[in-house]
Amino acid sequence: MTQIKDTTELDFCDVLFMPKRTTLNSRNEADVIREYKFKYYPHTLKSCGIMAANMATTGTFEINNVLQKYQAITCLHKHYDFQDTKNYSYINDNFENTNSNGNAYTFISTGLKDDKEKLFKTLSDKNFKVDKLCIDIANGYIPKLLELVKEVRAKFPHLLIMVGNVVTGDMTQDLILSGADIVKVGIGPGSVCTTRKLTGVGRPQLSAILECADAAHGVGGLVCADGGCTCAGDVAKAFGAGADFVMLGGMLAGTDEASGDLIEKNVQTNQLIEENGKLVLLQKKEKYKQFYGMSSQLAQEKHFGGMACYRASEGKVVEIAYKGSVEGVIMEILGGIRSTMSYIGARRLKDIPKCTTFYRVNRQLNEIFGKS
Ligand code: 5GP
């Protein structure tokens, strides 16, 4: 019989942090670098916990090159072919932060339908300097995913494995007990995702993180909150709900290092100017970059040679206002998180959930008088 879960389900916009007495005198005293330990992966990793999504637009070498300076992670998109010597040498030679356990801040990605033998060949290559794998499918409840996780873990006991996506504690635990170090949480919250519209499936992201983090931590695993962050405050809220990592697509898109051409458009402003004796509205040029969902029709055409007939597009294409270098974006996010930490009294990134009390609110932004 149909059941209704009549509990309160919350999104980032439904809560605000309660400020608390703090021992921090300045945001500079907040340490945003955490030393991560994993259930299976035998090394530790010092990181700020922010990850670039493995989307074709944001999971790029160029983003990786910048983010690693901030100890932020990039999940490279799966369309880089590492049998290709150009990509292979790039990953092996071009990164500054390489250490004995590989490119510290780099994951490679795969899906269920990708060439497993080719992936295993790459990962078995002793000279391949990435030891972190993101197994990413939209519906992490598929039994084949558990099988693949078990197989990869058995073959590569020392690999850092992140798997997703799910939104419930039971499946989070299943994936961790099958061999995942990190489970990716989020169905439908992504900025260019239309899953909720097309299928009616999904869960508000803050509640999903709260449940999955609790479940993961109970069995020694970690979670990555994937999707739905629109500003630094949302990233802080994801950490506050218990996420160990936070994955970003849209927030890092539109930057120099994201892939895609810069589009220039004439946009009409509200400002009147005089032109040839007449008052006309001022036109100004604005720059945009294209950003698209990995299940959008555009992505299917670009990367998979067209849409399979049994599928429907679960992603959209948008134009994001040009933001300059991704360096400015990551600095702003880290600045915001430091500030959150100073408001709630969290000295270390790991302490954020312990120091978090959320107010439930019905409005988080005060933009009544127009946006800046
Ligand atoms: P954002 O940070 O832009 O809100 O969300 C990024 C996340 O959206 C990605 O990491 C991925 O999980 C999800 N995503 C990316 N493309 C698509 C798509 O086409 N359809 C759906 N359902 N989700 C997508």
Going by CA atoms, what residue is nearest to atom 24 of ligand 1?
A: 193
Q: Which residue of 74, 185, 203, 294 sits with most ligand 1 atoms within 8 Å of its CB, as the best mutation to test the pocket?
A: 294
DSSP lists the bridge partners of residue 246 as: 50, 225
Please name the amino acid found at residue 152: V
Task: Enumerate residues lining ligand 1, CB below 6 A.
Answer: 53, 55, 138, 165, 186, 190-193, 195, 226-229, 247-251, 293-296, 314-315
Tell me how crowded residue 287 is: count the other CB atoms within 10 A of its CB. Answer: 15
CA angle (314 as vertex; 313, 316 as ends), nearest 5: 85
* pLDDT at res. 100: 55
Average pLDDT, the chain: 93
* CB within 8 Å of 159: residues ≥ 6 apart: 40, 41, 123, 131, 132, 133, 152, 153
Say which of 75, 193, 212, 229 is annotated catalytic: 193
pTM above 0.75, yes or no: yes
Instruction: Give distance in angstroms: CA of 295 to centre of ligand 1.
Output: 8
Verify whether residue 355 is a known catalytic residue: no
Residue 183: burial class (beta carbons within 10 Å; 0-12, 13-18, 19+): buried
The yes-or-no answer on residue 13 being catalytic is no
Residue closest to 245 by CA, chosen among 312, 173, 186, 329: 186
Instruction: Please tell me the distance between residue 136's alpha carbon and the centre of ligand 1 in angstroms.
Output: 11
Q: Which of 57, 195, 255, 356 is catalytic?
A: 195
Q: Which atom of ligand 1 is nearest to the CA of 296?
A: 19
**Residue 69, pLDDT score:** 94
Return the minimum-mean-pLDDT range out of 12-21, 193-202, 206-215, 308-317. Answer: 308-317
> Which of 315, 196, 200, 190 is CA-nearest to residue 246?
190
- Which residue among 50, 54, 55 is best mutated to probe the pocket of ligand 1, counting the most ligand atoms within 8 A of its Cβ? 55
pLDDT in tens, 243-281: 999 999 999 999 999 998 899 999 888 899 998 999 999
